[in-house]
Amino acid sequence: MARKEALRELQSRLAERLQAARTQQRGSSWLAVECAGRGLLFPLREAGEIFAPAPLLAVPHTHRWFLGVANLRGHLHGVVDLAGFLGLKGADAPPPAPGQGQLVGFNQSLDLNCVLLVDRLAGLRNEEQLTREPDDGSLRPTFAGARLRDGSGRVWQELSPAALAGDEQFLRIVG
């Protein structure tokens, strides 16, 4: 029970900081998450509400990374296993255990009732905390932005939910 309360407090603090960061236009800021051991950054202007895991209703004939639909605050949302979609885990990996991870929504302005399942939230980051890595020339999907390094040396990959919302492979859930 204490773990649930601590999680609610963390979500509440993050929601307050997200809202405060959205109203500040001083520079770039991101929601940091971990997914299959990788650090990912979602620009705050594109990230939406954070939800605790919810019961899922499977949808037949969809890709393995499309976990199903969930009722979140009275609205149906598609649930995407982000690690599965990005290919960060093998095709034979078991699906995420029910109740594991966090669900990150898309900003309402993107008009997409979908959430991304990530392993855990890692807080907020701003441009003062990160240094842009030089482009290594490797091919990346259009939704993958810059690679950034924090003060501890960890590399973070920026992902654009807005670009992801327009990605043809992401929108084609039927397998």
CATH number, residue 158: 2.40.50.180
Q: Which residue has the higher pLDDT, 25 or 59?
A: 59
Element (H, E) at 4: helix 2-23
Residue 77 has a pLDDT of: 97
- In which domain, by residue range, is 8 found? 2-171
Q: Number of folded domains in the chain?
A: 1
Residue 135 has a pLDDT of: 85
Residue 14 has a pLDDT of: 67
Indicate the pairing of strand 114-118 with strand 75-81: parallel
Please state, for a pLDDT cut of 90, what percent of the chain lies above it: 73
Closest CA to 173 of 81, 111, 56, 43: 81
